[in-house]
Amino acid sequence: MRVALFATCVNDALMPSTAIATVRLLERLGVEVDFPAAQSCCGQPQFNSGYRRACEPLVRRTVRAFAGYRHVVAPSGSCVATVRTAHPRIAARAGGGLAAAVGELTPRVYELSEFLVDVLGVEDVGAWFPHPVTYHPSCHGLRLLGLGDRPLRLLRAVRGLELLELPGAEECCGFGGTFALKNAAVSAAMAADKTAAALATGAEVLCGGDTSCLLHLGGTLRRQGAPLRPLHLAEILASTEAEPWRAP
């Protein structure tokens, strides 16, 4: 099987390790991975800030970049949610046949855990990660995509991993894109509560499926000097006994 990796702009620019881990994981499972270089940002930050028209070229670019692939896989719940929920809205107002093209693309775009569990039909990906881990389900994956317990099922099958339940897991971490800047005080208060809950589990690793939430929580944890490191789900699933995960 051949898939297109939709790395997302945040991973490309700030967290390449997430995209690299996704490539390693998928290849290990026998999937051939392409990275269509024409891809860019899904337009989420612009769209959510009210700049819908500025997103139109990005929607067109996304449609073009992934034309011809039966499966497009992204290690980000919120970017996939943007493709599924925002792109149709942007396209409907843009005209020029964009709506049809978007409608054709969206069912082929999968968030990583969806692709693994629903398309490949695997929960045990053969990973090994001997650490206590707690998992934060980011809002867009949880509510817009309905990922449910797919990420947890994948984590439970990882050898050596001790999964610790995060109290109040479903509550937002306070990132919210420009919200983190425009309402910094409330955003920081939400991050403080989330990191406190994660620390109280005794985990060494705070796992998530959305890099931007992890940057926000990771930045908060580093400022606190707290003994908890953020890792993307892809990085944990990429780790094996033969090749333990080490961010490049």
Partner 1 sequence: MSGTFLGLPAFPEAAAAAVQDERLRANLRHATGTIRAKRARAVAELADWAELRAAAKAVKDRTLDRLDHYLVRLEQNVTAAGGQVHWAADAEEANRIVTGLVRATGEREVVKVKSMATQEIGLNEALAEAGIRAYETDLAELIVQLGNDRPSHILVPAIHRNRGEIRDIFADRMADLGRPAPEGLTDEPAELAEAARLHLREKFLRAKVAVSGANFMIAETGTLVVVESEGNGRMCLTLPRTLISVVGIEKVLPTWRDLEIFLQLLPRSATAERMNPYTSLWTGTHADGPDGDGPEEFHLVLLDNGRTDVLADRTGRQALRCIRCSACLNVCPVYERAGGHAYGSVYPGPIGAILTPQLRGTETPLDASLPYASSLCGACYEVCPVAIDIPEVLVHLRERVADGPRHRLARAAAAAAAYVLDHPGLLRAAERAAARTRRLHPRRLPGPGRAWTDTRELPAVPPEPFRDWWRRNRG
For partner 1, the binding residues (CB under 8 A) are 7, 9, 11-17, 19-20, 23, 33, 35, 37-38, 40-41, 43, 45-52, 54-55, 57-58, 61, 89, 139-140, 143-144, 170-172, 174-192, 215-216, 218-220, 222-223, 248
The closest of 120, 175, 126, 115 to 151, measured between CA atoms, is 115
CB of residue 53 to partner 1, shortest distance in Å? 8
Q: Which is closer to partner 1, CB of 220 or CB of 240?
A: 220
Residue pair 76/10 in contact (Cβ under 8 Å)? The answer is: yes
CB of residue 189 to partner 1, shortest distance in Å? 5
CB of residue 74 to partner 1, shortest distance in Å? 12
CB of residue 210 to partner 1, shortest distance in Å? 12
Q: Which is closer to partner 1, CB of 45 or CB of 163?
A: 45
The closest of 57, 80, 84, 59 to 7, measured between CA atoms, is 80
CB of residue 47 to partner 1, shortest distance in Å? 7
Beta strands in 59-201 (DSSP E): 72-74, 109-111, 132-136, 162-164
Q: How far apart are CA 207 and CA 230, in angstroms?
A: 6
Q: Which is closer to partner 1, CB of 157 or CB of 183?
A: 183
Backbone Cα Rg of the chain: 18
Q: Which is closer to partner 1, CB of 156 or CB of 182?
A: 182
User: Looking up tokens 């439970």, which residue turns up?
Assistant: 156
- Separation in Å, CA 99 to CA 4, 51, 86, 231: 21, 18, 11, 36
CB of residue 162 to partner 1, shortest distance in Å? 27
Q: How far apart are CA 123 and CA 56, in angstroms?
A: 37
- Six-digit token string for 221: 């944890």
